[in-house]
Amino acid sequence: MIIKNPKFEISAVSPKQYPKNGLPEIVLVGKSNVGKSSFINTMINRKKLARTSSEPGKTRQINFYNLDDTFYFVDLPGYGYSKMSKKEQAQVGKFIEEYLFNRNEISLIIFLVDIRHSPTANDKLMYNYIISSKIPFVILANKADKIAITKVDLATKNLQKELNPIGDIPTYPFSSERKIYSDEIWNLIEKYI
């Protein structure tokens, strides 16, 4: 898919601000710092459209990126940011929940986990939560460039086994540094929008 004019549309702090044009939404979910914003930038070939940070936990809003008036990438706040107070974490959790459970426009959830580590307790909670929402989703084992290329397939399979032992949720490696993984993901996105 060729995206001509990707635009940041709105940083929503409440559901009233969500776009009202009914375009399909592809949603990025995952813990803080796993690479959600970088994923968006990589897929649309812009270095800085989505704000990335080496300092985790900066995003508390739901950011909508309009791709040629065809669909949105939706960048959700990350969870599991330990420097956020319990109260703030709970507020962010509620905001995410409210969005995921009430938003009919969601076409696909892209769930990012770190290829180098076992899923965290919060990853497992989020996984169960997404399953219960019945929204189509895929798992991406991100930061694949951080391990030897010969180990990528096995690490991806192992992550899938831990999160999704039945093996019915498509799981792919991904890396924002290595473009080799993005074509397959574009094919998938096109299928869902």
Of the residues 73, 74, 78, 99, which one makes contact with ligand GDP according to CB under 6 A? 78
Contact (CB, 8 A) for 85 and 95 = no
Using only C-alpha atoms, the chain has a radius of gyration, in whole angstroms, of 16
Residue 107's binding partner among Mg ion, ligand GDP, none (Cβ under 5 to 8 angstroms by kind) is none
Work out how close the CB of 104 gets to ligand GDP at its nearest, in angstroms, rounded to a whole number: 25
Work out how close the CB of 64 gets to Mg ion at its nearest, in angstroms, rounded to a whole number: 13
SS3 content of the chain, % helix, strand, coil (to 5): 40, 25, 40
Q: Which is nearer to ligand GDP, 21 or 119 (CB)?
A: 119
**What's the DSSP call for residue 8?**
E
How far is residue 132 from each of residues 78, 97, 125, 135, measured CA to CA in Å? 19, 12, 11, 8
Map the footprint of Mg ion across residues 9-28, applying CB under 5 A: none
Work out how close the CB of 34 gets to Mg ion at its nearest, in angstroms, rounded to a whole number: 9
- Report the interface residues with Mg ion, using CB under 5 A: 36-37, 59
